[in-house]
A and B are shown apart, each in its own frame.
Chain A
Amino acid sequence: MSDQVLQLRKVCMTYGNGANSVGALRDINLDVSAGEFVAVMGPSGSGKSSLLTLAGGLEKATSGDIYVENTPLGALNINELARLRRRAIGYVFQDFNLVPSLTAVENVALPRELDGVPSRKARRQAMDALRSVGIDKLADRFMDQISGGQRQRVAIARAIVGQRRLILADEPTGALDTASGDGIMEVLRHRADAGCAVVLVTHEARHAGWADRVLFLKDGRIVDQAAQSYDPTDLLELPAN
């Protein structure tokens, strides 16, 4: 057992087959521990979203192993995987994925209720999450009654609600101005400081700056990492080029 919340071992992802196949990820090894905030950067098409969908159990890797809280995702059946995702993984999609016929607070409470949390408690947790992203006042609005940036925050609240230990966020600041974007980073940073493992995909250096570690992807490989160094010995642990 380890205190790694997320582990990827020799993970490869190939879409399609034969001449049309695309190697989206090649031989990725990655550990993210509790309390760690990792940002993933890289040019468009470098495999960032692919990395996140695999880590979130939304797709199966072509080869290699993925562990979430020491559970190998490859060994789970569909129901077990769905349960693990609801219980342990908060996911912010590049395109939000909210339910239009539900209000903000219902959207956020939904995964908790699906997981068997009594609805009053789920609602209370949802309100806490909405408050931490600064939109608890909009709790009873429907998705077409709030702005794009506010929808984005609902999506983030849904990912952080409850006790999930792994937060995966794909470009969660797309529609937000600088100050609101920084506000979201503060929320993610706070989750990490409270013991979650956070993986953020972003093309904004400004937001990656909030992370403990920044991975650079290129053509499906991790080509470099930047880690904050509090003392010079930390530097020695970085992979030498």
Chain B
Amino acid sequence: MSIRHSLLALLHDQPMYGYQLRSEFEERTGSTWPLNIGQVYTTLDRLERDGLAVKDGDDGEGHVVYRITASGKTEVSQWFAAPVVATNPPRNELAIKLSLAMTLDNVDVEMLLQAQRTASMRNLQTYTRQRREAAKSDSNDSQDVAWILVLDSLVFGAEAEIRWLDHCEGWLRKHRFRTSKSPASHAAEPTNATKEPTR
């Protein structure tokens, strides 16, 4: 997540001070990714160093207000225009755990899958309930809409995770013979490799 660009985008809207930026960010993203105030100030320092924002006096109550510069505005436009491309797949602990579990002998992969699916389903239920409640207010307020869209993204993410777990389970069932401990003997009879286990 680019905090730098997020904060700059908020400054594009209007000049703000640190705490204000933090609460604007959190409200617009449904407090899904909490920021600590230290991160906000470090980021503001860097924005200033890079000429993307400048200090613009205080608000009369001692808060230092920041304002976006012309090159800051360009930076924001470029950020919105550029698609988010993950060049390296983001580190996914679950995928790592599962691929290790599938290749090690002493792990009960089915149990792992099941426990994970239950946990992911619980998340999905929570997101779905929050989504339902958020939609009830039927508001057009931009912050409510932003929150709903964030929830949608979480719903789709949890759904994808569960589908992937189902996929892994199906794969495991089909390949149970192949993944058992003596690969050599099974290599000789490939047709058995995908046979369904008998009930």
Contact = CB atoms under 8 A, between A and B. Distances in A.
A23 B199 CA distance: 8
B153 interface: no
Contacts of A22: 199
B22 to A, nearest CB: 28
A120 B133 CA distance: 36
B20 interface: no
Contacts of A189: 132
Secondary structure dominating the interface of B: helix
A143 B13 CA distance: 54
B111 interface: yes
Interface string A223-238: 1111111000000000
Contact of B121 (A43, A208, A223, A241): A208
Interface in B153-188: 155, 158-159, 162-163, 166, 169-170, 173
A121 interface: no
Interface core residue of B126, B128, B170 (most chain A CB under 10 Å): B128
A219 B115 CA distance: 17
A205 B162 contact: yes
A219 B124 contact: no
Contacts of B169: 43
Interface stretch (A57-65, A101-109, A127-135, A209-217): A209-217
Top 7 nearest A-B pairs by Cβ distance?
A209-B128, A205-B162, A226-B121, A209-B124, A228-B125, A226-B118, A206-B159
Nearest to A210: B128
B127 A209 contact: yes
Contacts, number: 62
Q: How large is the interface on A (under 10, 10 to 19, 20 to 34, 35 or more residues)?
A: 20 to 34
B122 interface: yes
Interface of B: 111, 114-115, 117-119, 121-122, 124-129, 132, 155, 158-159, 162-163, 166, 169-170, 173, 199
Contact of B118 (A206, A211, A212, A224): A224
Contact of A228 (B129, B159, B163): B129
B199 A216 contact: no
Given A205-B162, A205-B163, A223 B114 contact: yes
A209 B115 contact: no
Given A22-B199, A205-B163, 12 more contacts: A43-B169, A205-B158, A205-B162, A209-B155, A210-B128, A211-B125, A214-B125, A216-B118, A223-B114, A226-B122, A228-B126, A228-B129
Secondary structure dominating the interface of A: mixed
Given A43-B169, A219-B199, A228-B129, A205 B115 contact: no
Contact of B125 (A186, A209, A216, A223): A209
A241 to B, nearest CB: 6
A241 B129 contact: no
B153 to A, nearest CB: 13
Interface string A163-203: 00000000000000000000000100100000000000000
A209 B199 contact: no
Nearest to A42: B166
A216 B122 contact: no
A224 B114 contact: yes
17 contacts: A43-B166, A205-B162, A208-B124, A208-B125, A209-B128, A209-B155, A210-B125, A210-B132, A211-B125, A219-B199, A223-B114, A224-B114, A224-B117, A226-B121, A226-B122, A226-B125, A241-B115
